[in-house]
Amino acid sequence: MKDGYNRKINYLRISITDLCNLRCRYCMPEEGVEKLTHKEVLSIEEILEVAGESVKLGITKVRITGGEPLVRKGILSLIKGLADIPEIQDIAMTTNGILLKKYGKALKEAGLNRVNISIDSLDPGRYRKITRGGEISQVLEGIEEAMKVGLKPIKLNTVIIGDENEEDIQPLVDLTRKWEIDVRFIELMPIGEASNWSKEHFLSNEEIYQRIEGLIPVKRESGSPATYYRFLDGKGRVGFINPVSNHFCGDCNRLRLTFDGKLKPCLHSSQEIDLIPALRQGQGSLEELLEFATLQKPEKHCMDSDEYEILVRNMSEIGG
């Protein structure tokens, strides 16, 4: 289905929990979030019902995110259920990778195609500090497992925080020389926990790009928000996703579903469409609400303008 600006919407991102086994400083409060009751969270069956309806509007790609999707009970049956919907051609997951060594093989067997793994530092101390306690060795084991079981192509997503992990830029991009993976820099967004952070923490991707020598441009992929480069001896690519400095709204192809049953037409807007009455009380049709959300998509976000209304939800609730 096309939205009001002639963009084809074929991608559904589903945040299946707001809980996480890490506490990244820009994403989650140190004390974590209060655990909601079962009733406040969509069940696996309800998520599958929404996904099943969404394909009628032309959704063909689904990404599972969170919070940390691998802490949600029932994750394997969710992936199996999605894989059983014939119209869905691509099932991906965004994960911090901590539990990937444990679940990688079962996820692949259930029908997951690929993973994006978030990794902001290769240094054990800095990784522990940013994630408030995470062990980088577990993530590296997770990446190796993902490669072994074929959850490919693998993309590593990195947020660089000024004065925090700038030293990690080079070691992270060097991974693309030894492994056939993409390392992508995502600009830190002033959302939730990071909404009041001081300016020196926000580095533009242009600044990061300038610090890396030897990058050669690669042809742009349609439908991807990233601009890619590679090293002459590179097996993988280095990507830049610039939601703040250079928005890619013109190519937006997505809707978001939150763990508590709201559709978000745009990541950067507070507008949400509640699916619970349709799912639980038979009030209204899911298909019509999905269509409504698609038509509510704004032309572009205004994060870099004075009109921007800071988002109250943390990224851990929306899933990025």
Question: Which residues in this chain contact ligand SAM in the complex, by CB under 6 A?
Answer: 20, 26-27, 65-66, 68, 94-96, 118, 157, 159, 186, 188-189, 191, 194, 315-316, 319-320
From 20, 48, 175, 318, residue interacting with ligand SF4 (rule: CB under 6 A):
20
From ligand SAM, ligand SF4, none, interface partner of 28 (C-beta below 5 to 8 A by class) = ligand SF4
CA distance 119 to 25: 13
From ligand SAM, ligand SF4, none, interface partner of 23 (C-beta below 5 to 8 A by class) = ligand SF4
Q: Are 254 and 61 in contact (CB under 8 A)?
A: no
CA distance 290 to 296: 10
Burial class (CB in 10 A: 0-12, 13-18, 19+), 273: middle
CA distance 309 to 271: 11
Find the shortest distance in angstroms from Cβ 16 to ligand SF4. Answer: 11
**Beta carbons within 8 Å of 285's beta carbon, 6+ residues apart:** 278
Half-sphere exposure of 301 (CA within 13 A, CB side): 25
From 27, 50, 82, 290, residue interacting with ligand SF4 (rule: CB under 6 A):
27
Nearer to ligand SAM, 53 or 120 (CB): 120
Nearer to ligand SAM, 91 or 191 (CB): 191
Q: Are 300 and 249 in contact (CB under 8 A)?
A: yes
Find the shortest distance in angstroms from Cβ 44 to ligand SF4. Answer: 19
CA distance 72 to 18: 9
SS (H, E, C) 188-237: CCCCHHHHHCCHHHECCHHHHHHCCCCCEECCCCCCCCCEEEECCCCCCC
Residue 66 touches ligand SF4, criterion: CB under 6 A: yes
> Which of these ranges, 23-31, 80-88, 226-234, 251-259, lies near ligand SF4 under the rule CB under 6 A?
23-31
Find the shortest distance in angstroms from Cβ 147 to ligand SAM. Answer: 17
- Contact positions with ligand SF4 (CB under 6 A) in 297-316: 315-316
> Which of these ranges, 37-45, 64-72, 294-302, 305-313, lies near ligand SF4 under the rule CB under 6 A?
64-72
Binding site residues, ligand SF4, CB under 6 A: 20, 22-24, 27-28, 66-68, 96, 118, 315-316
